[in-house]
Chain A
């Protein structure tokens, strides 16, 4: 057996690193990380170990460690069932969310290879439906873990044998995702004392969880039935986020088939997204959100959220603010194309402040592999913050702007729209209207532009397209589209 292990490790020891450098002077550099030969490279999870190595799990069942200094791969564990999330605990322990269970994987004998696979919990159902992915875990300060369970797809059936009690209530709807076994469409809490508890319901395909340092839990969801455009939710205990299938597992649920409830009733029950990602404009299939705690190592966006996108080569940036006691905010493309691939399924910040991205496709749009995005030190011209005021929006830029024509309304095209919550897959744009900007001011430091509007309508997305904006040193604004989800109006006169 030892011989086999040595063979494996030797096989993985050689691996180079192909540098793909962007054009000279770019604020960010995207580098491909070479994978060992034979690894498909569909990334299910990325995390950094305390010793600085990357721990990656792959859809093909492996957990592998990558040493960024030596640029070598090391095989840690094998045989997992479609793992889609990893938490790095120590050099000899990781926790992985695989399809059937949450597993702690340990190397007891310190030979570098896992020998113990402890089932932390499998107290949730699996019907065998292909779409029943399991996401997470993320950990709060108290040590509780949170996972998310995808609903089942109407394009697939269930197995003859399922795990968990089968509930046929939502299964007879040919176009809607369903919840045949317990807690499909839920976010679950795994308590530090070992119990798995239902936490929040109403999710469709929640391929991304994040906990910030204040223990706020964020979850993304993917556009489809009952999710008119993709979302970022702030998830709170016992709240319902809109996809009805999961409701059949709500404690003391006595309302029968949730699909038969009036839409207005479901609409009134749900907690809305703090940020909507307009479909095809900002994101089509958002994945994992991560927060920038690099204190500037990754550039000027400290404290903001970065979200992967599967369908196009893009990373999305999200900025939130508290308005009227509620979190809401804006989203904008962060990085588009160049050397970045699509299929950006998993993100993790390295100890050196670079952002590592793992790609996946799994039969959908996507890519395979791992890329590293690092800040070169050159500040990009970008919108640092979009702030809702009582009368419009303040845009704060990362760099002082060139004054020429900066207050000319022709550089700012603003419109609003929203989406319709229903069983239909996705939604058209509703209430599309160009919004006139009545006046534009620029701050004394030339960093903040204030747009004044006649009226601001709540429950609308405000989509702003900028043109010909440049910095005082002639850098050009590359990301010209930003979308603010106005749930609450700002009552404060700034």
Chain B
């Protein structure tokens, strides 16, 4: 549906696989002194490293490569055990010297570091792991980043503790892609109880970027496009997943949490008079009528209002149109594939359209009904 989103998912899987490799560690095998252990770390969006911990044997030759995949600068500084916060504090004190020193303080607590990398840049360092076993933190000391952007190098020959109980890694590394379901009790995302009907404007799949998602009673929901000024699709079941894009940078879209029962095949359904061309539409906003949004737009300058409700028996949705100034007959086009549209309050079905007189166009309802299977 959206290239970047598909890319993100593959990327996430790749991180996961890589992460597994690092945490279990191929370097835990024998002959570790024979070759350099190469750890590849990426700086990612959301102030985090993709690798939040790795294990090496005491005295191992280690190569660490940092690649900055984010859209701002990052570095990576290894510190002595327990000195991550001290080093962060010293970095903050660098004042005007910070940028030139890559925010790496001249401190005996700093062991090795990778300098400030611009987006897309990469740098490697090599060092010999300490003979002294312990947990050696690494952290981004760029101002403001270090409270969440860190990880740990275990110098040990023992098995690491379970990731979720590891006090040396940030929470973002433990559960980076937690899903939040809107309208469920799992996580409260707003300071009030959400009871249908309500709407959320967010990026939605299969819609233009000015999307409006509406939750209706009877576990019905729909997506209305403020760009094309039309209903795009409707679903049944839970409302949305991952609609809280604001928690992150938002390089993604929300997901519908139920199953689709209607998806329009028509670019925009209304036609004025005998004209077959799509009219120009211009979104004007919406008005809440008992909390239901009644959308308002102009179609070739003519005011159109659309209010969508659950059908009284919950079998689907009713789209109530008002065109108070209509003075010409109208057509509502139905794509042959859209067999869900089975009813209208007025008008005459002619092939793939409903025809309304000017009078009928003042107020009519299109019903979309779920298949009973």
Contacts and interface: CB of A to CB of B under 8 A. Distances in A.
B69 to A, nearest CB: 8
A156 B47 contact: no
A40 B209 contact: no
Nearest 5 interchain pairs by C-beta = A157-B4, A311-B144, A59-B246, A365-B144, A81-B201
B192 A8 contact: yes
Nearest to B69: A155
Nearest to A109: B288
Contact of B210 (A122, A130, A365, A424): A122
A78 B198 contact: yes
Interface string A95-127: 000111101000000000011111100100011
B208 A118 contact: no
A157 B209 contact: no
B115 to A, nearest CB: 12
A426 B100 CA distance: 13
A60 B99 contact: no
B215 to A, nearest CB: 10
A425 B247 contact: no
20 contacts: A12-B192, A35-B191, A38-B191, A40-B246, A42-B246, A61-B201, A62-B191, A75-B192, A78-B198, A100-B226, A114-B288, A118-B284, A130-B249, A156-B251, A159-B203, A159-B208, A279-B99, A362-B249, A363-B47, A426-B118
Interface in B132-155: 142-145
Interface residues of A, number: 77
A281 interface: yes
A160 B2 contact: yes
Contact of A284 (B70, B143, B199, B201): B143
Contacts of B209: 99-100, 126-128, 159, 161-163
Interface in A470-492: 481
Contacts of B1: 160
Interface of B is mostly: loop
A280 B210 contact: no
Interface in B181-208: 188-193, 195, 198-203, 207-208
Contact of A11 (B100, B193, B244, B247): B193
A85 B118 CA distance: 30
Given A36-B191, A280-B143, A426-B73, 9 more contacts: A4-B291, A37-B188, A80-B201, A100-B209, A116-B288, A155-B69, A162-B209, A163-B209, A175-B120
B283 interface: yes
Q: Is the interface of A mostly helix, strand, loop or mixed?
A: loop
A425 B119 contact: yes
A155 B252 CA distance: 12
For the side of the interface on B, what is the size category? 35 or more
Given A82-B245, A161-B208, A163-B209, A117 B286 contact: yes
Contacts of A412: none
A131 B119 CA distance: 15
Given A7-B193, A103-B285, A311-B144, A157 B3 contact: yes
A1 interface: yes
A310 B120 contact: no
Interface in A435-468: 463, 465
Contact of B4 (A64, A156, A365): A156
Interface in B66-103: 69-73, 92, 95-96, 98-100, 103
A85 B294 CA distance: 25
A102 to B, nearest CB: 11
B145 A365 contact: yes
B226 A122 contact: yes
B276 interface: no
A237 B183 CA distance: 46
Nearest to B99: A280
A100 B210 contact: yes
B7 interface: yes
A198 B352 CA distance: 42
B371 interface: no
B285 A119 contact: yes
